[in-house]
Amino acid sequence: MEDSTQVYSMPRIGDVAPDFEAVTTTGKIKFSDYAQGKWKILFSHPADFTPVCTTEMSGFAERQAEFDSMNTALIGLSIDSIHSHLAWVNNVRDNTGVYFQFPIIADLDMKVSKLYGMLQPNESETAAVRAVFFIDPENKIRLIMYYPLNVGRNMDEIIRALHALQFSDEHKVAMPLNWKPGDKVIVPPPKTLEEMDLRLADDSIERIDFYLAKKEINV
């Protein structure tokens, strides 16, 4: 007997973000042309006019200025029609004063959801899970988060992770557990004996051992 289970691929960290064209609440877009030169956060929600999704989308909208200050464009998605999206945006604005100014993709044919592995059949075959894709200015996927339908995302963690990615790129360092802006960072471990000896003689860093060292970066 043939297995009729549909398997959807999902992009991986380091992949070029799959391209697509879509209708959104701000007009038609080609994703590779959207917000060129900026970081992008592509995030999905299961459905319009639902409570958890409303809190999440409001969370993104309320912190829009922070994303703007980090050269980051937002773009949402759900498997709903453009008319549903527009009505929901207007409903939330009328009831709470929060306005979703970022584009929201109307993915009725599930094309983008399938392209990005947002459909998880054991969770739902008709609603996208709560996915978050961090995409850098070179259009490469740098970090992926997936949440089930019944658990809302943590906006502080999304912003913290974005800070970490950008800071790491700028300063060529790594981030330890629970890192946040202003904390010490991890210095890359030495790759040669000479580099190890230099590390051991360097008093400007906090050295736990030659392979594990932290330092402050003042910006």
User: Would you name the residues annotated as active-site residues?
Assistant: 53
Can you read off the two tokens belonging to residue 87? 């009505």
Sheet of strand 212-215: strand arrangement: 185-186, 212-215, 206-209
N-to-C CA span, the chain: 62
Interaxial angle between packed helices 82-96 and 51-62, expressed in degrees from 0 to 180 and rounded to the nearest 10: 70
Helices (H), 22-81: 51-62, 64-69
Dihedral angle of Cα 24, 112, 121, 83, to the nearest 10 degrees: 20
